Structure 1
């Protein structure tokens, strides 16, 4: 976290854009023309635009950190260059193909007629364009020094220092990680947070009360929100009950095989996977009500000692964090994701009141490696104290 905190000013730039846009478009609780915001819906109330922008702000945060510029999703109120659309199509295709690999040879790798999305093409072309434009601006001394060196700037400096090891192709390969996956997982968790808070009045009230009493400056700063217990509980509970990644992280048993802690033996070469969507609802770890959204489970109970609470909390924490993977393949961006999600949710709920148009309304969602949620109509009203 100490390393990624250097990017906080870049996240703040995006959050300011986001709050201003939402305030102007929906801050008075107006009806949102959702066809301008979400292509697959016709007309919904305020949050149709808001939830589309939750995804856009996640992607624009990633872009600002990566390139020192936004994709433009928030400014232009659309999916610029189809980056989100192409990324989503790629994951919808990849989800079944990753489980049934041989069908890829009949579809995307078909030598006669190729069938399948080309999710990397849009991203590759965009990355090459950004790298070329940035280096051209550097040569013409048109680049203005910012308060923070974004990732592209650091990569360009690596290229200058190690020209035999780093070239533009390598830089694009590195940037592709951000372009194709940087916004989906964090936006999924933020959408889940907004939805479950709207469905749980008690949790909503507790979070808002904590944020208001904290006297936050906007956008919310990490130093002011990092120790807020209920904010942390809400984020972790949302990530637990609706993990952004909901398919198996596969490993292959070594040549000697592998013996699990409970004594079961896995033969050599066996593929083993554990889904966070399953482990996050383990009754033995999270309680008999694990299927319910209840942030209070992350807080200390009146009937348990501090030692008992710390032991229980650690088990939940370690299990829930498996959403980010584990071991050598753990997500490199997990601290940046937590920084972004906490700042975003704290800023959003300290600034606006968010309500489902119909409290009984149910969203829809699909698992395509990442979780994609849709249909969350809400009214958005700016809080008087935040004007």
Structure 2
């Protein structure tokens, strides 16, 4: 199912570390960068997130909450996407795509990415047809998965190295591109420009789409659950937060954590299975059933995240309180229940050696956004009864979220 995700350039198929099935190859090319994606290292990117966050907050206020624009309808689905994609660009390349500044999809990066996933979702289930469509050697048919992102990354890598050779790009905070280029000296046998782009594609492929899906879920479900919204406001108002909110200030806020986990649970950014192949010897499930070697298996987070045995009888409802101790619940019982919920819900990031490297970055970005956003603005659906439109294309895409943005009286922008 993963091969349609290859990009075809000049007749050559280029795989990436996401879809490579050779475990030895995957291990070899992941080893140099794996250490960059621990939470400790990801926190080095916090100033880059802050830079984008300040830009986003200023633009949101100017466009929808100030002067003659006060009360103007905000297409929340678009603007949350602009933020997610520009954060990804700033962390990856040390520059923004320009979505926030221009208030639109620049160079069709988002549109082309979406078309690629609309293609990948069905074609990944019948992968042989990809050879007749996108990988057709005579006439390529349909969207070109990941091509726009790959070509953009090659362009930025070339430009970045040229500027650095001229003494430019001496940024105080190293971005992913800068870190990866430095690996050329440490791993000259495997690191070249193509490999740097290969690594950067991890950011580009997943950083914008999946993160923005979770962001939209937060705004959407809080708009429909005013009690949860008010509880979050009370927690944020009782905490003296910087602008933008810093991780050290928000990492232990229990209700913020509960809301973010619940949004990710009920609307996971990935809602089709990660296929895996049962190895030699087969596999026996805990209930005794045997799965023969070679069988393709997988678990869908959109299904497992609504398991009544794990999340309770209200598993189909948005309820952040499930992540907190119940009245009269013993600490040991809560710890067991919480651990089980986390183990299941966290599977949206995959597991084992293929677990999503960007999970800590996504956590940092989302928590910071909503601690800052809701401390400054009141942002909700214009009509709490309004239903969004969404589509599962392996990644989840949501549309039609008209919001009203109001500046909160208690909030003061620094």
Task: Tell me the TM-score normalized by structure 1.
Answer: 0.93
Give me the whole-angstrom Cα distance separating, in 2, the residues matched to 1:356 and 1:127: 35
**Equivalent residues in 2 for 1:202-281, closer than 5 Å:** 202-281=227-306
2:92 is aligned with 1:54: no
Alpha-carbon distance change, 112 to 166 in structure 1, aligned in 2, over 3 angstroms: closer
Q: 1:18 aligns with which of 45, 56, 70?
A: 56
Post-superposition offset of 1:30: 6.7
Could you say what secondary structure the match of 2:298 adopts? strand
Range with greater deviation from structure 2 (107-116 or 2-11): 107-116
Alpha-carbon distance change, 8 to 72 in structure 1, aligned in 2, over 3 angstroms: same
Give me the whole-angstrom Cα distance separating, in 2, the residues matched to 1:324 and 1:343: 19
Give me the whole-angstrom Cα distance separating, in 1, the residues matched to 2:322 and 2:344: 14
Contact residue 259 and residue 265 of structure 1 kept, 8 A: yes
- Residue 35 of structure 1 is matched in structure 2 by none
Contact residue 381 and residue 402 of structure 2 kept, 8 A: yes
Alpha-carbon distance change, 254 to 143 in structure 1, aligned in 2, over 3 angstroms: closer
Post-superposition offset of 1:45: 5.3
- Residue 71 of structure 1 is matched in structure 2 by 97
Q: 1:188 aligns with which of 206, 213, 234?
A: 213
Give me the whole-angstrom Cα distance separating, in 2, the residues matched to 1:330 and 1:164: 26
- Residue 107 of structure 1 is matched in structure 2 by 133
Give me the whole-angstrom Cα distance separating, in 1, the residues matched to 2:200 and 2:383: 41
Range with greater deviation from structure 2 (133-142 or 372-381): 133-142
In structure 1, runs of 5+ residues without a counterpart are 33-43
Task: Tell me the TM-score normalized by structure 2.
Answer: 0.87
Post-superposition offset of 1:358: 1.5
Post-superposition offset of 1:144: 3.0
Range with greater deviation from structure 2 (282-291 or 265-274): 265-274
Give me the whole-angstrom Cα distance separating, in 2, the residues matched to 1:51 and 1:86: 17
**Equivalent residues in 2 for 1:358-373, closer than 5 Å:** 358-373=383-398
Could you say what secondary structure the match of 1:338 adopts? helix
Could you say what secondary structure the match of 2:410 adopts? helix
2:359 is aligned with 1:321: no
CA RMSD in angstroms comes to 1.6
Post-superposition offset of 1:243: 0.4
- Residue 41 of structure 1 is matched in structure 2 by none
Post-superposition offset of 1:291: 0.4
Alpha-carbon distance change, 178 to 300 in structure 1, aligned in 2, over 3 angstroms: same
Give me the whole-angstrom Cα distance separating, in 2, the residues matched to 1:249 and 1:266: 17
- Equivalenced residue count is 374
Give me the whole-angstrom Cα distance separating, in 2, the residues matched to 1:102 and 1:230: 47
Q: 1:2 aligns with which of 35, 40, 43?
A: 40
Alpha-carbon distance change, 165 to 254 in structure 1, aligned in 2, over 3 angstroms: closer
